[in-house]
């Protein structure tokens, strides 16, 4: 049987939790598909496709069937059958000890990145759960090798695109700012829209995702609105004045929500969003979005940035 029939993915890479926790751009440390570093992914991996979904419903007396109430995706388990090896006992022990230390969930989740032969890449963050306790049976351990059935638990069950999508809203399409802004949202094609009018955003991915916003002054206030297909409107307002040299950042992602001033001080601006702000998500497909901005001038722009999320790798 051809090797690509056993596992068609060209790369399955692991970035340790400690590297992610240090911030910045953390590069993968292990490529399980190539076996580089003395660790090889064997056939039998599981959990890379759809996550488990939980259905809430009510059974009705005297009526066939049930009435659905809610659907949500639960956390996901990923199973990785790994083969660790070395040229001799000391080198195998070095590989094993370093790898086991890299799993430590006390530092948070690590990142598993899958790259296909066409170059498309998706990642998921997961905590080590169990499977590396060790077994001295002859079928799973030898003098210069050992096997683990590693189990990871992804609290967020969705896979993320390795590419960031960015969209820019301006008063005038000709009023351009440098592409390499701070923070830098990634290399991608940046489509431009106009402020103070409804626009249609086409969002890729399988499920909703939460955007990040950068507001470049001058502005004296912004209302961010999204209208769904049924006509219902979600919105929140930033009641803040920014000079032409100032910028603010709003992160709407669950577990990371924040609003700060991008002046080096990272002044907390959460109170400028009002009580219980509805930091809405964008849905796959067409989204009608309006950014109502007061006090615009030369240089005013708002950047929207998001990562598409997918059901499978």
CA 262 to chain centre: 22
* Percentage with pLDDT > 90 across the chain: 73
pLDDT digits (tens, 9 = 90+) for 287-311: 999 999 999 999 999 999 999 999 9
**Looking at the predicted structure, is the pLDDT value of residue 176 above 60?**
no
89: phi then psi, degrees, rounded to nearest 5: -60, -50
**Looking at the predicted structure, is the pLDDT value of residue 38 above 80?**
yes
* Percentage with pLDDT > 70 across the chain: 90
Q: What is the pLDDT of residue 248?
A: 97
* Range with lowest mean pLDDT among 173-182, 205-214, 221-230: 173-182
Global pTM? 0.84
The predicted model gives 127-155 an average pLDDT of 93
Q: What is the pLDDT of residue 36?
A: 81
Q: What is the pLDDT of residue 118?
A: 82
| Residue 178: band (very low, low, confident or very high) from pLDDT cuts 50, 70, 90 | very low
* Range with lowest mean pLDDT among 37-51, 108-122, 189-203, 241-255: 189-203
**Looking at the predicted structure, is the pLDDT value of residue 3 above 90?**
no
> Are 155 and 75 within 8 A, CB to CB?
yes
The predicted model gives 260-279 an average pLDDT of 92
The predicted model gives 111-116 an average pLDDT of 94
What's the chain's average pLDDT?
89
| Residue 172: band (very low, low, confident or very high) from pLDDT cuts 50, 70, 90 | low
pLDDT digits (tens, 9 = 90+) for 120-138: 899 999 999 999 999 888 8
The predicted model gives 264-293 an average pLDDT of 93
pLDDT digits (tens, 9 = 90+) for 155-169: 999 999 999 999 999
User: How far, in Å, CA of 303 to CA of 313, rounded?
Assistant: 28
pLDDT digits (tens, 9 = 90+) for 70-91: 999 999 999 999 999 999 999 9
* Pairing outcome for strands 247-251 and 212-216: antiparallel
> Are 240 and 221 within 8 A, CB to CB?
yes
Q: What is the pLDDT of residue 26?
A: 76
User: How far, in Å, CA of 108 to CA of 1, rounded?
Assistant: 38
| Residue 21: band (very low, low, confident or very high) from pLDDT cuts 50, 70, 90 | confident
């Amino acid at each position: 049987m051809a090797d690509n029939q056993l596992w068609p993915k060209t790369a399955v890479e692991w970035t340790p939790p400690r590297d992610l926790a240090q911030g910045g751009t953390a590069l993968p440390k292990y490529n399980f598909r190539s076996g580089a570093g003395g660790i090889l992914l064997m056939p039998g991996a599981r959990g890379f496709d759809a996550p488990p979904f939980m259905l809430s419903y009510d059974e009705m007396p005297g009526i066939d069937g049930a009435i659905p109430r809610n659907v949500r995706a639960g956390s996901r388990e990923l199973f990785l059958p790994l083969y660790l090896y070395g040229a001799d006992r000391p080198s195998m022990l070095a590989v094993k000890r370093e790898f086991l230390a890299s799993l430590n969930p006390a530092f948070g989740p690590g990142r598993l990145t899958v790259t296909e032969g066409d170059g498309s890449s998706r990642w998921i963050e997961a905590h080590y759960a169990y499977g590396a306790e060790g077994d001295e049976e002859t079928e799973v351990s030898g003098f210069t090798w050992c096997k683990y059935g590693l189990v990871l638990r992804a609290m967020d069950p969705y896979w993320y695109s390795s590419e960031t999508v960015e969209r820019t809203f301006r008063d005038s399409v000709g009023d351009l700012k440098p592409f390499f802004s701070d923070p830098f949202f990634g290399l991608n094609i940046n489509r431009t829209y106009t402020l103070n009018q409804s626009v249609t955003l086409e969002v890729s991915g399988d499920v909703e995702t939460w955007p990040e916003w950068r507001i470049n002054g001058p502005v004296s206030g912004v209302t961010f609105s999204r209208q769904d297909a049924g006509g219902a409107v979600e919105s929140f307002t930033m009641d803040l004045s920014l000079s032409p040299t100032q910028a603010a950042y709003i992160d709407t992602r669950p577990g990371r929500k924040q609003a700060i001033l991008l002046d080096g001080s990272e002044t907390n601006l959460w109170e400028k969003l009002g009580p219980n702000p509805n930091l809405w998500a964008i849905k796959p497909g067409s989204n009608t979005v309006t950014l109502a901005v007061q006090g615009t001038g030369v240089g005013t722009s708002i950047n929207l940035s998001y990562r598409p999320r997918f059901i499978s790798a």
